Structure 1
């Protein structure tokens, strides 16, 4: 016998506009009310997804996030507010969801999803929504969803582009069919280092909520067996088929815990020999045009307390690096988009090509004219600048410094 729908007068008011849809009806709304959805991340993708899952009436949402709200989040993570900067994202998102819909239950987990806790955190979940921003968590989410036999709604955004799919072990391909091998740290871009347009998070996050609603209610066709590619520059979706690879059944034992330091950052050198050196930022006024004209270039003595890596506090606030040139080793398009005032662009790919072409060597000598002088290098997150410094050390440069955290750290100051 079919159990009659159990809705309060408030719930009829909240959901009436979608319950009148023949495809959904009261039975579909009851499925939403009975569902338990685990959402990883209250960030760019999680923010809009959480809002629309709450608005749709998903009965229980397990919200997993160990991060805090930062000012740089607000242009795309619309579930938070300026007043909540510095508070846990999970608490902030839960507050907004409860204000939007007081009838739902939001279970807050202020932890990072790992191999050690994933099975317990996702126990009883109807669907897993993966809005994480690092590969370690994504692979953990995929393995855990596969063991649980639940659908895994996934999305990723960067710049103006996005990807989205629904994975489901035993019924459809899984994340490992799309990305069989976890990328090496520093080989793949992320939003903090490469940038992202805020509205893109809304496009994809709400689409992930839609897929979740379809999976719970059985309405429509979920996006399984294909990957949706969206570009905001044209506003178009394209869909590429994805085929499952043969694999052993998912083991019931817990997956090994990923290393938390294996998070991808944008620091992959790209081939570039054109536009070897970019000029200083247009808003900079103190950087000399010819570095060889600097008479007070800082030279670090043997008793210097600094190692290869320094912080932006060291560079700007200590007074020890006054007059030290700031060298941006990123690609030209990155430098032109945003750079630290006064910086000069000398590509890592150029530094790594020294000796192959005399004109390249001359450019390096022009920008870095004195091998005993001090130079401070930065990139997007600190990986490329360290590589460049180490390469220059082998060329006889003696006082080189890599700014930890790169442009991301500077923006956070």
Structure 2
């Protein structure tokens, strides 16, 4: 309802007090606050981006907020996902988010969708809302969100974050570009590491998420100069903003229907390749590694291929650090050869969860060095063998 009948919308005495700082702004005023009250927004994800933007949209007086997420709150979320608290660890994120929203604004209607957004449900979930805000962290859902918004003619407020950098824009608004104009094709699976692998500065999603909330309010108010056609880039480490122009690609394929986005992004193919790669490698469980370590007659070298800062957080006793980037660059392979020189024992490799060590062993195998991968990595070691080893 981006063009509601303002005569039918009333503000209560509490509304006048609650939103007085909005109402006295000439650019907002009574009519603007009524538009905000009449608006409905769907937020996809309640993570780093969804947390701050949901808080500010609720506080601003959005009348109806939909939230779609199927994850639970984890301790590792609390560093940046500020809508959640310690008491909600282990519970659904959407329930945590609703609880916090209603504490801020008890007059907000909050719709919950505890499910994964898919090609089969996206149109039905998105259709009732005026604006969609993309707070996701994976390419299949970003393309799905974009295509559904194009088919339904809904503005799509986009944001993404990684390490110290973030970006934001508005897609599919006033004949502006959509996500496929920025990224016509998805990157190869694994090419872009996740925040779980690469990390993220905790305050960064607060900045980008708040920009997304700002753009949503500007769309509702009919403000000029939205981020449609402009990609805002932010580097928190350097405290610099940059801007790139975006234009619709006249040769862009017409979006006519929703597709299999996992297939489009190469996820099944990548998983199949990963399975094939893993099957070509020898593996052991952490319990088997523990039994091996307890035997005095078995000689081995335990290789840790995580990054040095991860090694500082937690390590398996007796492990030797040779980071995966060093192995990829080649000099790490030489270091492994030096470790094995004159050594008759077996090579065992691990990382955080087993993926990077499998990649390292594949590279080492190409160099003529055989090894065994530890399934589940140091995370499994902490859960199944030694709980004193810190999980991160």
Same-fold call, TM > 0.5? Answer: yes
Cα deviation, 1:280-316, whole Å, max 9, x if unaligned, reads xxxxxxxxxxxxxxxxxxxxxxxxxxx734455664x
How many angstroms apart in 2 are the aligned matches of 1:12 and 1:243? Answer: 40
Alpha-carbon separation, structure 2, partners of 1:48 and 1:408: 32
Q: Secondary structure at the match of 2:19?
A: helix
Partners of 1:328 and 1:335 within 8 A in 2: no
Matched, 1:404 2:376: yes
1:340 matched to 2:300: no
- The alpha-carbon deviation at position 392 of structure 1 amounts to 3.0
Where does structure 2 lack aligned partners over 5 or more consecutive residues?
A: 271-280, 383-389
Aligned to 2:94: 90
| Range moving further from structure 2, 254-263 or 144-153 | 254-263
1:162 is aligned to: 166
- Counterpart of 1:250 in structure 2 is 255
Aligned residue number for residue 386 of structure 1: 358
CA offsets, 1:163-209, max 9 Å, x none? 11111166111111111111222110111010111111111111110
Instruction: Compare the two structures and name the one with the higher helix fraction.
Output: 2
1:13-412 mapped onto 2 (5 Å cutoff):
13-168=17-172, 171-246=175-250, 247-251=252-256, 253-258=257-262, 262=267, 308-310=282-284, 312=286, 315=289, 318-322=290-294, 325-330=301-306, 340=315, 343-348=319-324, 351=327, 362-369=334-341, 373-379=345-351, 382-404=354-376, 412=391
CA distance in 1, matches of 2:197, 2:332: 27
Secondary structure of residue in 2 paired with 1:103: coil
Pairwise CA distance, 1:368: 3.1
| Structure 1: gaps (5+ residues) | 266-306
User: How many residue pairs are counted as aligned between the two chains?
Assistant: 363
The farther-off stretch of 181-190 and 63-72 is: 181-190
Given the superposition, is the C-alpha separation of residues 313 and 190 from structure 1 closer, same or farther in structure 2, using an over 3 Å criterion? Answer: farther
Q: CA deviation at 1:36?
A: 1.2
- Work out whether residues 136 and 258 of structure 1, in 8 Å CA contact, stay in contact via their aligned partners in 2: yes
TM-score of the aligned structures, taking structure 1 as reference length: 0.79
1:223 is paired with a residue whose SS is: coil
CA distance in structure 2 between the partners assigned to 1:42 and 1:20 by the alignment: 31
Residues 60, 106 of structure 1: 8 Å contact kept: yes
Secondary structure of the residue aligned to 2:140 is helix
Deviation digits for residues 225-249 of structure 1, max 9, x if unmatched?
1111111112221111122212244
Root-mean-square deviation (Å): 3.0
Measure the CA separation in 2 of the matches of 1:362 and 1:254.
Answer: 48
Q: Secondary structure at the match of 2:237?
A: coil
